[in-house]
Amino acid sequence: MKLRGKLLILLLAMALTPLVVGTIGDHIAIRLLGRELAAEARQDLLKSARLRLREQIGDYAQQVDVESRLVEALLSVQVQAVERRLAAGRTANRRPVYYEADFQAGRVPGLALSPHHVDISPDGTLGPLPVSYEEQVIRLPPGVDRQALTGEVAALSDMTRVYQHVFRVMRSKGLVLWQYTALASGLFSSFPGEGGLPDDYDPRERDWYRAAMAAAEDAPGEDGPTAWVSPVVDATTGQLTLTASRVVYGPDGRPAGVTAIDVPLTGVVSSTRLPADLGQNGRVLLVAVAPDEIARPGSQEPDRLYVFADEKTLNQAGDWRESSQPYEFRLEDPAQLRTMTQDVANERSNLLLGVFDGKETILAYGPIGNDAAVVLATPRATITRQVERMEATVWERTWMMLLMSTVVVGLVGIGVVLVALIGARTVTEPVERLAATARRIAGGDLNARAEIARHKSDEIGALAKAFNDMVPQLQDRLAMRESLNLAKEVQQALLPAQPPQLDAFDIAGASDYCDETGGDYFDFIVFEDREQPTLGVVIGDVVGHGVASALLMATARALLRSRATQRCGLAAVLTQVNDDLCASQFQARFMTMFYIELTSDPIHARWLSAGHDPALVYDPASDRFDELFGQDIPLSIQTGWTFNERQDHLIPWASGQVIFLGTDGIWEAFNAEGEMFGKDRLKDVIRAHAGDGAEQINQAVHAAVAAFRGECGQKDDITSVVIKIR
């Protein structure tokens, strides 16, 4: 990427980062604030809804209590009226009597379609039922002669006025569907009059009749208590009803029958309505505690809570022969269900928050007597929907703010881009000129110069001046590099291109410099004018490395080669070479050297060491290393020093033996852990490759040193010569 692009990115980052970070921070803060407000509002709404539902169920419980007392009071009126008429026998104000056949034939006064009574047609559709609010209907039990019950019919013939009075009081509250009296003989009086009772209908087999008789047996000698019967299906209309019934006594003080009032569940529950904001998706249920055998006959389980009706089924018709089919009320939490069951059984009002019908629901309930209660079920989501709308509003406003912030960021970004494009040119143009000049220099044009006249006083001008000053120095360094390369070529030319080929010896040598030029040196000299074939091998190491060391090495090589051909002995040769080097005044420079001459027939060696490490002699047959020592000082240290020659009087030469000469760059090589290669590792390499040729042995030594160093660079020159006796 070019500098202009990088500068543009930098400017954009500096300008936009604070704005973007601030916008994101504001967005997060608003979201958090909205969530906190929504959480508080949700709690407030739930608390308010609970209070309102609790108040409403309490009010309704009181209202049901008042209405039940009203029903019981009016039922007492019916009881007294029936008992008086049974005691009198015949009433003075006897009215005409109408039987079922009269209603079916339409011969009854006031017969018309009722808006309060539902008729079930054979095809199952619902419609208004024809009834008479002016007359009651008398039904005789099947198989009983009308003449046998003439007295009872006459006694009850005047009950129409009582029924009408009670009906008018209760109709406005929707608390009456039917009023009727059934005597022990099976005679049945019902109001409003209608003719739709089934043929096999016997009031004495109905729950309301049996319950009233059972209540009278439990309280003998007293007025029969009111028996409230759990919801049943009305025999005529199929509507769900609650029945309040009481025993009527005859003149002899014994139960003579039962009078009752049917209260439609629509009337009981219709007064219970959820508030408009809570009523959506809410339900009003009628529940009661009943034995478990309602759902599973014969079950011995404890009583359970059952739903007898709810708003969705109150107006649905059913079969009069069956009670309404209750279903078990269930909550996800069994503990909550037990609490609610106990509350209903003990006629306590309460409020719970539980999972009902798969939804988290607030359940407010209050008693209506007879182990029954009305339940107001409101889904929690209905209450919190206002909070959800508020959260949606906050989220919408947040997105609007984020959108506005994004537009602002975009406008600022466009402005920054324009400023960067215009302003960055002042900086990037001179830099591009410097880069172009650098490319010209890299291409070989060392006369190229950077010209930036308008930036002499700033940092770019200083950079251009330093750049221009660098070019002549670069030229000097290139010239020096060329000189060093030339010196390297010259020095490499001084080393043997290949070892001499002799029948008695296998010879190899190599030198690795750590710089372009070095101070190590080796050479082979073959003396063909001697009585016996003679090989001269020399290895040297100048202190330090570089150009000065290379010059000392080259001088020593030339002096040695010029003196070695003289037949004056090794000691005289090295003495003369040392004096000449001392005279050359190589300040602070000296050179170690090991020089050995080998004859081939027979094999004989003589050597001289000028401060150099001894040569190693390895005999594979005995696995033994010997060293060829010397005690003389290095060359170019002291003029007039007399060197001493040594010979191999104690070495038995044999085929396969290896003579190794090397410089200290081999055994003084270090690895990354600070360990030194050492002569023991060197001997191990020679021992391992003693069966190979001289060249393979030499290469193995150099490879072992390089592997030992690893990532550490070469710090000194490495030179070695291997001579293997054939």
pLDDT recorded at residue 141: 83
**Distance between CA atoms of residues 315 and 309, nearest Å:** 10
pLDDT for the residue 323: 44
Query: Average pLDDT in the 558-574 region?
Result: 87
Q: How confident is the model at residue 424 (pLDDT cuts 50, 70, 90)?
A: low
Local confidence band at 221 (pLDDT 50, 70, 90 cut-offs): low
For residue 321, the model assigns a pLDDT of 38
Contact (CB, 8 A) for 323 and 290: no
Do 30 and 401 contact (CB within 8 A), yes or no? yes
Asked if pLDDT for residue 316 goes beyond 60, the answer is no
Query: Do 371 and 289 meet the contact criterion of CB atoms below 8 Å apart?
Result: yes
According to the model, what pLDDT value does residue 513 have? Answer: 84
Q: Please check the confidence at residue 393 and state whether its pLDDT lies above 60.
A: yes
Determine the distance from the C-alpha atom of residue 261 to the mean position of all C-alpha atoms in its chain, rounded to a whole number. 65
Region 510-525 average pLDDT: 85
Q: By mean pLDDT, which of 94-98, 109-113, 189-193, 273-277 is the weakest? A: 273-277
CATH class of 495-725: alpha beta
Place of tokens 């710090």: 715
Q: pLDDT, tens digit, for every residue of 375-384?
A: 888 888 777 7
User: Pick the residue with more confidence: 149 or 724?
Assistant: 724
User: What pLDDT, on the 0 to 100 scale, is given for residue 13?
Assistant: 76
CA atoms within 13 A on the CB side of 545: 23
Taking the CA atoms of 300, 301, 303 and 306 in sequence, report the sign of the dihedral they define.
negative
Instruction: Give the whole-number percent of the chain exceeding pLDDT 70.
Output: 80
Nearest-angstrom CA–CA distance, 669 and 675: 8
Model confidence at 502: pLDDT above 60: yes
Of 40-54, 168-182, 311-325, give the lowest mean pLDDT range: 311-325
Contact of 208 with 199, CB cutoff 8 Å: no
Q: What is the mean predicted confidence (pLDDT) over 612-641?
A: 94
Contacts of 158 (CB under 8 A, 6+ apart): 85, 91, 93, 94, 95
Q: What is the pLDDT of residue 297?
A: 47
Q: Sorting pLDDT into bands at 50, 70 and 90, what band is 529? A: confident
Q: What is the DSSP string of 480-504?
A: HHHHHHHHHHHHHHHS-SS----SS
Q: Is the pLDDT of residue 81 over 50?
A: yes
Q: Which two tokens stand for residue 694?
A: 């001289």
Q: Measured between alpha carbons, how far is 215 from 236 in angstroms, rounded to an integer?
A: 26
Q: What is the pLDDT of residue 315?
A: 47
> What is the C-alpha separation between 362 and 353, in angstroms, rounded?
5
What value does the mean pLDDT of the chain take?
Answer: 81
**What is the arithmetic mean of pLDDT over 224-231?**
80
The answer, yes or no, to whether residue 671 has pLDDT greater than 80, is yes
Most confident of 80-84, 411-415, 416-420, 566-570: 80-84
Per-residue model confidence as pLDDT tens digits over 261-287: 998 876 666 555 666 556 566 788 888
Q: How confident is the model at residue 317 (pLDDT cuts 50, 70, 90)?
A: very low
Taking only the tens place, the pLDDT of each residue in 449-460 is 777 666 656 677
Checking if the pLDDT of 2 tops 70, the result is no
**Cα(604)–Cα(445) distance, rounded to whole angstroms?**
62
Domain ranges of the chain: 40-402, 453-487, 495-725
Q: Which residues are registered as beta bridge partners of 288?
A: 306, 372
User: What pLDDT is recorded for position 335?
Assistant: 92
Report pLDDT for 620: 96
Whether the predicted pLDDT of 169 surpasses 70? yes
- Per-residue pLDDT, averaged over 343-370, amounts to 85
Check residues 296 and 80 and name the one with the higher pLDDT.
80
Residue 38: per-residue pLDDT = 67
Q: Per-residue pLDDT averaged across 74-101, rounded? A: 82
Maximum alpha-carbon separation in the chain: 184
**At 366, is the pLDDT very low, low, confident or very high (cuts 50, 70, 90)?**
confident
Average pLDDT over residues 185-202: 87
Angle at which helices 159-171 and 3-88 pack, to 10 degrees? 160
pLDDT value of residue 292: 52
What tens digit of pLDDT does each residue of 134-145 get?
999 998 887 777
Amino acid at position 34, single letter = G
- For residue 365, give the 3-state DSSP assignment: strand
Predicted local confidence at residue 183, as pLDDT: 94
Does the structure show a pLDDT above 80 at 165?
yes
Strands 240-249 and 718-725: unpaired
Q: Quick check: 417 pLDDT over 80?
A: no
Residue 619 has pLDDT above 90, yes or no: yes
In the predicted model, is pLDDT for residue 703 greater than 60? yes
